[in-house]
Amino acid sequence: MTRLGDSVQRASRLLAQDLSSDETVGQLLAETGSRRYLDLSDLPAKEQAALIGARAVDVLPTVEKLAEEIEAKRAQGKGLHVKLGIDPTAADVHLGHAVPVIILSRFQRMGHDVTLIIGDFTAKIGDPSGRTAERPALTDEEIAKNLSGYQDQVRPFFDFENVSFRNNSDWLGDFTFPQLITLLAQIPASSLLQREDFRNRLAEGSGLTMSELIYPVAMALDSVELDCDIELGGLDQLLNMQMGRRLMELHGQRPQMVATMPLIEGTDGSGAKMSKSKGNYIGMTAGPDDVYGKIMSIPDRLMVPYLRAWTEWTDAEIDQAGARIEAGTLHPMDLKKVLAGEVVTALHGAEAAKAARAGFTAQFSKKSFGDVEALPSVDAAEHGAEGIAAILTQVLEFTPSASAARRIAKQNGLRLVVETGDGGEQRAIVLPESDALRPLAEVVPEKLAEAGVSGTVYLKAGRKIAQIHGL
């Protein structure tokens, strides 16, 4: 029995128990969470390949070929050389960016050699994949700052102490114009223009720069330089990685294998991928309660994709939980709480997950906000003259902008909640969009008088809640 097999047996017994129990869930999170550091080198080659293939969209040429390559390297006393490239184009990242890093971690724990390519040169071009317009150019200072933030934020998912770092400016910076012309002469323009995102931009008249057009070639030169066995990347990187295979062949190398990871749908359930611009993301720096609450807000249909993306659960365990839901012996809400606990555990640890679970239960199950520890608050004596939307944005940081706060109000998600009496009975007062722009100190007394209620007052925006003091 392998180490992973032993863990799966223990977890399966817990998955068959009452998952509404805090004690059972705590034991399950401890078991599955510990797998992030589990040595997987005892897995046979076929099981290693299957574990990678189960979380990939594509493995090229095949999962079977991956198993063969692992076995061949093992016979030589070696591991595969695995590559993942990142362009540090943003200072902060979200959970969607963690998906290929988690797979890289599994390769690392299987005993393979992993290299993280830092695209400090290609970041100055900007990956055009999926873009509708050209990315702004970055300075060296911005790239260095973004890289530092990236490493700090994805550290919960990856051991940076045992990885090789390479900057692609080391070879691309010295690439001469004659070399580039010679290389481009071997690449048909049609192979670059076949990309759907390029065709769409040209059809819409938004334009396309030459630097963007040759970005896949620049990225492919990373593969030539490292001569890796397999490259990882998001599904949107497939054409870029296939270009790497092509250039490796042109240089007389054996083309790398490719494993693509899914693009994770955002928390709003709209079908759009997780994105900061759409506000449907979970930031790596988000607090435990925020992470837990956002996971609990997702549609039930996203539970399985999220379990597959961010946890160390095997397909057998996910199927076991799904079968219990189908049989009516497991409530979807209880599974979602486990999922939320898994993500918080990964980012902040088991104790933070336990506290977030207790806080959520107090807020949405016991219905008494007074039972919640460390609930955010706003002092009406200090901020009463400010508009509610401004308070949500600048004081409580519940929303990214005042317009986002107004959208919540338009969807009837902005409310005052008044708890009355010792029993914590609640009365909710919906605030229209017009009230979102009015001063807090005017709105609250007016609404309480109209409703004829008094008690402890809370401001609720979507799922986020803060107590109002100093009325």
Which sequence spans correspond to the domains of the chain? 1-55+273-365, 56-261, 377-469
Q: Provide the token pair at 33.
A: 């969470």
Average pLDDT over residues 309-313: 95
- Asked whether residue 364 carries a pLDDT value surpassing 90, the answer given is no
Average pLDDT over residues 315-342: 94
Average pLDDT over residues 82-97: 83
Predicted local confidence at residue 137, as pLDDT: 64
Predicted local confidence at residue 150, as pLDDT: 77
Predicted local confidence at residue 127, as pLDDT: 57
Predicted local confidence at residue 371, as pLDDT: 54
- Give dist(CA 315, CA 54) in Å, integer: 8
Average pLDDT over residues 29-42: 95
- Asked whether residue 423 carries a pLDDT value surpassing 60, the answer given is no
Predicted local confidence at residue 4, as pLDDT: 96
Predicted local confidence at residue 269, as pLDDT: 83
Predicted local confidence at residue 187, as pLDDT: 87
pLDDT tens digits, one per residue of 153-204: 888 888 888 888 898 999 999 989 999 899 888 888 877 777 777 777 777 7
Q: Provide the token pair at 339.
A: 């999922």
Predicted local confidence at residue 125, as pLDDT: 73
pLDDT tens digits, one per residue of 133-157: 455 666 777 777 777 777 778 888 8
Strand partners, 82: 114, 230
- Asked whether residue 14 carries a pLDDT value surpassing 70, the answer given is yes
Predicted local confidence at residue 132, as pLDDT: 46
Average pLDDT over residues 355-382: 75
Predicted local confidence at residue 374, as pLDDT: 64
Average pLDDT over residues 294-298: 91
Strand partners, 425: 420
Average pLDDT over residues 362-381: 69
Predicted local confidence at residue 360, as pLDDT: 85
Higher pLDDT, 310 or 426: 310
For 1-55+273-365, CATH gives 1.10.240
Mean predicted lDDT score pLDDT of the chain: 87
Higher pLDDT, 159 or 303: 303
pLDDT tens digits, one per residue of 224-276: 999 999 999 999 888 889 999 999 999 999 999 999 999 999 998 888 889 88
- Asked whether residue 128 carries a pLDDT value surpassing 70, the answer given is no
Higher pLDDT, 90 or 397: 397
**Which are the contacts of 159, defined by CB distance < 8 A and separation ≥ 6?**
105, 108
Higher pLDDT, 401 or 338: 338
Predicted local confidence at residue 67, as pLDDT: 97
Average pLDDT over residues 286-291: 90
- Give dist(CA 246, CA 255) in Å, integer: 7
- Give dist(CA 222, CA 164) in Å, integer: 14
Residues 377-469, CATH architecture: Roll (3.10)
- Asked whether residue 368 carries a pLDDT value surpassing 70, the answer given is no
Higher pLDDT, 161 or 354: 354
pLDDT cut 90: percent of the chain above it:
53
Higher pLDDT, 103 or 91: 103
Instruction: State the CATH class of domain 56-261.
Output: alpha beta
- Give dist(CA 457, CA 471) in Å, integer: 9
